[in-house]
Amino acid sequence: MNFAQVLKKAMVDKNIDTAKALSEATGVSSYITRRLLRNDKTCCLNDLKITADYLGVTIKFFKLGEE
């Protein structure tokens, strides 16, 4: 799962150019936002959901092996 690429593309679509600007818009700390944009899989799911919702990205969950 490479959510960072999807988030970065959505940032371009919304004309957001920095992690700090995205952080200010979502209310998620800039440290965590930068971690999300580096594809750090240890981030809290809630922070990813807040950021994805703001950017208009849909998150889907499925069992491993089912895609």
Query: For residue range 8-30, what is the model confidence (pLDDT) as tens digits?
Result: 999 999 999 999 999 999 999 99
Contacts of 66 (CB under 8 A, 6+ apart): none
Q: Which two tokens stand for residue 45?
A: 């799911």
- What is the structure's pLDDT at 4? 93
- What is the structure's pLDDT at 63? 83
Lowest average pLDDT, out of 9-18, 27-36, 56-65, goes to 56-65
47 to 9, 13, 22, 27, 32: CA distances (angstroms): 18, 20, 12, 9, 8
- What is the structure's pLDDT at 1? 62
Judge whether 33 and 8 are in contact, CB under 8 Å. no
